Amino acid sequence: MRINKKIKTLVFAMVFAFSASIYAQQDAQYTQYMYNTVSVNPAYAGSRGHLSIAALYRNQWLGLDGAPETQTLNLHTPLGYRGVGLGVSIVNDKIGPTSETYFDVDISYTIQTSLDAKLSFGLKASAHMLDIRFSELDEFEIDPQLQAQGDIQNQFSPNIGAGVYYHTERFYAGLSVPRLLETTHFDESSISTATEQINWYAITGYVWDLNPFLKFKPTLLAKMVQGAPLQADISANFMLNEKFVGGIAYRWDAAFSGLIGFRISDEVFIGIAYDREITDLGATTFNDGSFEVIFRYDFIKNLGNLKSPRFF
CA distance 125 to 102: 10
pLDDT at 146 over 80: no
The confidence score (pLDDT) of residue 192 equals 54
Query: For 20-45, how does the pLDDT look when each residue is reduced to its tens digit (9 = 90+)?
Result: 433 444 678 899 999 999 999 999 99
Residue 36 belongs to domain with CATH number: 2.40.160.40
Confidence of residue 197 (pLDDT cuts 50, 70, 90): confident
Domain assignment of residue 311, yes or no? no
The residue-averaged pLDDT of 96-118 equals: 93
CA-atom Rg of the chain in angstroms: 20
**Mean pLDDT throughout 134-143?**
59
Residue 201 within any structural domain of the chain = yes
Residue 312 lies in a domain: no
Strands 118-132 and 152-167: antiparallel
Is 210 domain-assigned? yes
> If residue 11 lies in a helix (H) or strand (E), which one and from where to where?
helix 2-19
Q: Are 107 and 42 in contact (CB under 8 A)?
A: yes
Q: Give the end-to-end CA distance of the chain in Å, rounded to a whole number.
A: 47
114 domain residue, yes or no: yes
310 falls within a domain = no
For the entire predicted model, the pTM comes to 0.85
Question: What pLDDT digit, counting tens, does each position of 264-281 carry?
Answer: 998 999 999 999 988 876
Predicted confidence band at 193 (pLDDT cuts at 50, 70, 90)? low
CA distance 33 to 219: 10
How many structural domains compose the chain? 1
pLDDT at 24: 42
Structural domain that includes position 28:
2-305
Between CA 27 and CA 21 the distance in angstroms is: 17
The model's confidence at residue 196, banded by pLDDT at 50, 70 and 90, is: confident
